[in-house]
Structure 1
């Protein structure tokens, strides 16, 4: 039986109480409550995230295992390397952070996805993350081409941890460029792990892998104690972390 959050004073239960593999909803931990910044901060600090559809109560999840991308294991395929190299060289192409967060989260909510009917990024979710963004905890990494938002992603930053939420593309590989830029930013600031929540073949092809919940939570606890990242800005020199960009020849990075 999952816990119901009936009051703002109710706390999320221990993640070991989440429904197990083989149940109707593996990883489901609790239901109810509101998407306030305070509740979201409590949830993410415990490795818990909201995921539900229109007409449902807020559902809180802690899957086991947990899909992550360790930033030093990011796999940059030759084709994507060439795409990014061309992107860097082309005038009018740039990566921006938090330039238009509202457009990014709305694009993530409304961009059609193969095999999906509807979206889990419901209007209440959009407004909640917009509020949390204004408080400095949620960020977007954006791919811009000739003054147009071509793709991007958004997620939550706590300590030296980034929780990836969703991404979108309006142009080929635009979201992959944003993810590669996020990896560079994370390496620059000592963020060793990006939470990807659940396994997909796409993430696995980029180096993502699953961790047992206890290992994920151990790494999360360490990252939360490592201090906040600031400032959230992107500079072309950060591409050196993937051996790309104008600074790569002088400073190859780690």
Structure 2
């Protein structure tokens, strides 16, 4: 039977696993959009496998697969919201506000339970088409002939959005929440499978176990026995 992880080592291992999880998430975020699908799939697979091994080192031997799947879900959430926030911040940084008119509106045909999107075509007041992909929405936001103020991407890569729609605050908070959930899982796993958790002692995770060779008490000589006077023979 393999010995359990010493309590004083669990925080260090949890910090290492947390650093690996954050580094992997950052790497996958940078690869997204700049790499092929095959490379992304390989990176996700290798990263998840190594993470499962690290979770087993924390003590999660039976639940390492489940914990790994939850971590992958958290990573997907971080990358999705961070990517959206990056696009919104880019649009605000290099875009310009213009007044446009809705000249066309269409909705996706109904296909089972798939989400149907509204697609809009926007033109400037001078009749030229607004740069970028056509804006889409799950809600019917505009009618044909409606005038709206949007931020237009000067490079034509991002779809035009209204100033309210281009606010990245909610996406940044969502990415932060996903990241905290991932770190929280690692911390809980480290605590759950520590000796301190088995004995109900939280302080053992923070303080190393005392060295028995240094803390052993020196032998103490027994106190001198009280002097009893000898009986005299009369």
For this structure pair, what is the TM-score category when the shorter chain's length is used for normalisation?
A: under 0.3
* Bigger RCO (CA 8 Å, 6+ sep): 2
Provide the TM-score with structure 1 as the length reference. 0.22
Q: Specify the structure having the higher radius of gyration (Cα).
A: 2
